[in-house]
A and B are shown apart, each in its own frame.
Chain A
Amino acid sequence: MDPTIIEAILQDRKIAYAIADRKLNVVALGGEVELISATRIRGECTLFDLTPELVGNEATLADILAGQLPRFELAWVNRDTVDGKISYLTMVELPYRDHNGQIVGIVHLVDDVTEMGSLKQHLAQQRNELRLLRDELTRQNLELGVAITELQELDELKSRFISVAAHELRTPLTSISGYLEVLLEEEMSPLTSDQREYIEIVRSSTDRMLNIITNLLDVTRIEAGRIELVLQPADLSKLVQAVVAEIKPQLEAKAKRLKLHAAPDLPPALCDKNRAIQIIENLLSNAAKYTPQESQIAVNIALAKEEGFLEISVVDNGVGISAEDQDKIFSRFFRSKSAVAVGASGAGLGLHITRSLVELHGGRIWFESKLGQGSTFHVTFPIAG
């Protein structure tokens, strides 16, 4: 082939070559020559002057010259360019033979693969950055896992403590409560009106404490998954009526009216009667606590919009819940600002327990409320059968 054509092809394909004699002195250069040299070379030079990448490979070159190695390749050799970028080269060392087939030197070929190299570098960069990110996430995940386990252990410890403390407190309180009943029934001796008043104050405080302790025990049972429901068909209206009858004196004392409306022919609900009563009691007692004197509370029982459920709604025109507090109202130990403002007592457990019990039944609880305008709480129970 015409040497001019060969030269044109080499330049077009960005290939350069150098031919070195057996002493590795460069005797010829061709093609895209500027690819070859890492630094500008003037005058005579060796292959090592042109290609520092071959330093250390003297034994390899000797093997080629001895005919023991047919080819040696260095792929993706990085070189800095004058404009601060990186060019990528593939270098190949081959034996250079004369007409008799004798190896008289080495052919050093350089191929510019910058275009593909840049793409490869870009991919490697992205892949490695992703790996680093993945490793970091894995590490953080492990750390979070350890932190979560520690927190769970602490939480369990706290629950155990509350449970033990509540049990230990309840026993003497129950005894105190029993003896107070005996005193109030005047079985031993008649009471003066002052004595009766004081004992009733003590009994009221004891009941409050017992209520708080019962709630604490419920919370620890709920969190430990130790509450088991005894589900059976029950007439929700009757359960509500029973609760209403219980709290009526409390309402009448403050001239509060309670209106109960149950839709006719409602099917029975599937619920644990005691727990359903506890749910209704919590909602009604909240409504009573947070409504002013001479106000009205309404309780409605009807089929829920959600098929297969009954719905109880408790409507009051009490203090309401601010928008800011609404997200936290079912949280443990949370007390809304409006509840604290009216001086109502409580540990902030009632609604948390109520929600947990409703959800254990497979029902839902939700509410609408506006500060100063009252609240409506809704709970649903599944229909039996």
Chain B
Amino acid sequence: MANVSKKVCLLGDFAVGKTSLVRRFVYNRFDDKYLSTIGVKVSRKTVSVPHHDQIMALTLMLWDLAGSEEFSAMRASYLRGAAGGILVCDLTRPETLNSLFSYVEDLSRLNPKARLILAANKHDLVDQHQLSETEIATAADQLNISYYLTSAKTGNEVESLFRQLGRQLI
């Protein structure tokens, strides 16, 4: 089985759940406590992806980047060589959806061919949603990418999100 590695960056404002999505996908774990990421944390997970009637082993190198703007200066070095990006927003904080457009600019400037996907996270906090699915769909349409309503807490759509991006990468 052929094996390829692809670098995927998780982008989004602080506390939208980037680290939690990676933790859920890679270790199938979730921790309610918010731990702010500084810099970058790289994790990896290999998934099997169908490709031309074959199954391919795709190792996703997941770059969980700090969401705080004080790390934006060094973001360029983190983004270099990214084949894909997961744009993460928080359904309970509308401003986190608007921010995604600037992350897309940063990533696309360095990696014009990078494939993107949108994760509208914290789907489990139904009572606190400030963003509707229509608004998410509109943003995804504008970026011409697909979107998933994810919950790192319950695991809802997390696997699908990463696998879908994996398929797009090969």
Contact = CB atoms under 8 A, between A and B. Distances in A.
Interface in A43-62: 52-53, 55-60
A144 to B, nearest CB: 16
B115 interface: no
Task: Give the most central of B39, B40, B42, B83: most A CB within 10 Å.
Answer: B39
Interface stretch (A75-83, A212-220, A292-300): A75-83
Given A75-B74, A127-B68, A55 B39 contact: no
Interface in A182-204: none
B78 A124 contact: no
B44 A52 contact: yes
A56 B40 CA distance: 14
Interface string A227-267: 00000000000000000000000000000000000000000
Interface in B62-76: 63, 66, 68, 70-71, 74
A132 B14 CA distance: 9
B143 interface: no
Contacts of A52: 42, 44, 61
Nearest to B71: A76
B70 A55 contact: no
Contacts of A117: 38-39
Given A52-B61, A55-B5, A124-B70, A72 B36 contact: no
A55 B34 contact: no
B68 A129 contact: no
A285 to B, nearest CB: 53
Interface in A158-194: none
Contacts of A290: none
B74 A76 contact: yes
Interface string B21-42: 0000000000000111111111
A73 B71 CA distance: 14
A88 interface: yes
Given A75-B74, A131-B14, A135-B93, A88 B39 contact: yes
A125 B34 CA distance: 8
Interface in A103-144: 117, 120-121, 124-125, 127-129, 131-132, 135, 139
A154 interface: no
A75 B71 CA distance: 10
A76 B40 contact: yes
Interface in B59-101: 59, 61, 63, 66, 68, 70-71, 74, 77-78, 80-83, 93, 95
Task: Give the most central of A58, A78, A88: most B CB within 10 Å.
Answer: A78
A56 B61 contact: yes
Interface of B: 5-7, 14-15, 34-42, 44, 59, 61, 63, 66, 68, 70-71, 74, 77-78, 80-83, 93, 95, 130
11 contacts: A52-B42, A55-B61, A57-B7, A57-B80, A72-B80, A76-B40, A76-B74, A78-B38, A121-B36, A125-B35, A128-B36
| Nearest 3 A/B pairs, CB to CB | A76-B39, A56-B7, A78-B41
